[in-house]
Amino acid sequence: MLFRQFQIATLAMTAWLSSSADPHAALMWPTPNPAFQNAQPIESFIQPTVSGLPESGLFGCVRNGGRRFHEGIDLYPIGRDQRGEASDPIYAVLPGRVVYLNKSSAQSNYGRYIVIEHDQESPAFHTLYAHLASIEAAITVGSRVDSGTPLGIMGRSAASTIPRARAHLHFEIGFRLTDDFQTWYDRQPFDTTNRHGNWNGMNLVSIDPLDFYASIRQGKVRSLAEYLKYIPTYARIRVHSSTIPDFVNNYPALVTRPYVEQQVIAWDIAFSEYGVPKEWTPRFIDEAIGGRPGDVKIVAYNSKRLKAQSCQHVLNLHSNSPQISARTLKTLKKLFGFQ
């Protein structure tokens, strides 16, 4: 009954995603807490860190005085069992296909987590549900889910200890950078095995889930495609490469013009505040843009926005001329396979 009441409330208060192949597929909230749908303040649904600051559970540069980035939002439970453990069911927010399950709490900072790819959307994107106490037996890799399908129970699983009082769902919305993440991983001096393949957190980039939901609710956008156009571009970077990256093949809706049967010599990539490569413009041989294969350069940037960055810089503005940040260079290496 609780699930049905939550479903009705969500359908009544959440806008439709018009990009969906099914126009009646509702974007749902991932937990039974109705606080967001009721326009209550973040204290009503966001789980803070040990600092106790509600904003520390939000997306972005919200931790360690703005110096540490948080890739998703943390949602606290409204139900507890007799042991005091979180008991909230977790729901799929849109129809899609389960692409990854991690059932071991000790092998990732995400703990037990599920990744669903919403392949009926354009662009396709994934949602990630982490720190689960348990996963529903029916949820397996390859299985399809609908909006509101129960995925598991909220918890506090993680490689490091999360106290019972701070059990929560860590929720992300985003994209994977490459289908060959292992090659990049093998080049790094890591002393641990990549246990999660292409669904390792280091291969994922995310948007702000709460801002996306709020933009849908407020009628500013109707889909993720519109949201990506709505959020500001912080920099455009040109990469001279004839390679068609996995990212382009996986998310063709982010490409601004046709490139099939054209001789691509470079890509102009628009980056969001936290480094999502949200727009791709192919450049062709007949455009005479100059440059050699492997060249990477900044073609445009917003200095006012960049100066306001507190962490996760797209570009560094420490000198008279901007420089591509180490984080953005790392992203480009994953996208293009550069060494």
Q: How many H-runs (helices) and E-runs (strands) does the chain carry?
A: 7, 18
Q: What is the pLDDT of residue 339?
A: 86
DSSP secondary structure code for residue 155 in this structure: B
Q: Which helix (H) or strand (E) holds 249?
A: helix 246-250
Q: Per-residue pLDDT tens for 245-268?
A: 999 999 999 999 999 999 999 999
pLDDT in tens, 292-326: 999 999 999 999 999 888 898 999 987 678 999 99
Residues 6+ apart with CB under 8 A from 60: 69, 70, 208, 274
- pLDDT at position 218 over 90: yes
Question: What pLDDT is recorded for position 317?
Answer: 87
Domain boundaries, given as residue ranges, for the chain:
2-216, 232-336
pLDDT digits (tens, 9 = 90+) for 166-195: 999 999 999 999 999 999 999 999 999 999
**pLDDT for 153 beyond 50:** yes
- Tell me the sheet residues that pair with 100: 115
Residues 6 or more apart whose Cβ sits within 8 Å of residue 315 = 234, 235, 298, 301, 306, 322, 323, 324, 325, 328
Q: Which range is least confidently modeled, 84-98, 275-289, 297-311? A: 297-311
Please, what is the average pLDDT of the chain?
Answer: 91
Q: List, as one string, the DSSP characters of 57-93.
A: GSSEEEETTTTEEE-SEEE--S-B-TTS-B--EEE-S
Mean pLDDT of 45-73: 94
Q: Is-contact 115 98, C-beta < 8 A?
A: yes
Residues of the chain with pLDDT > 70, as a percent, come to 92
Q: Rounded to an integer, what distance in angstroms lies between the CA atom of residue 252 and that of residue 264?
A: 15
- Residue written as tokens 């979180």? 86
pLDDT for 310 equals 85
Strands (E), 189-332: 204-207, 235-239, 264-271, 277-284, 296-301, 315-316, 323-324
Q: Per-residue confidence at 25, pLDDT binned at 50, 70, 90?
A: low
Token representation of residue 74: 């943390």
**Per-residue pLDDT tens for 109-125?**
999 999 999 999 999 99
% residues pLDDT > 90 (the chain): 86
Residue type, 15: A
Please give the class, per CATH, of domain 2-216: mainly beta
pLDDT exceeds cutoff 70 at 23 = no
- Tallying the residues shown for the chain, one arrives at 339
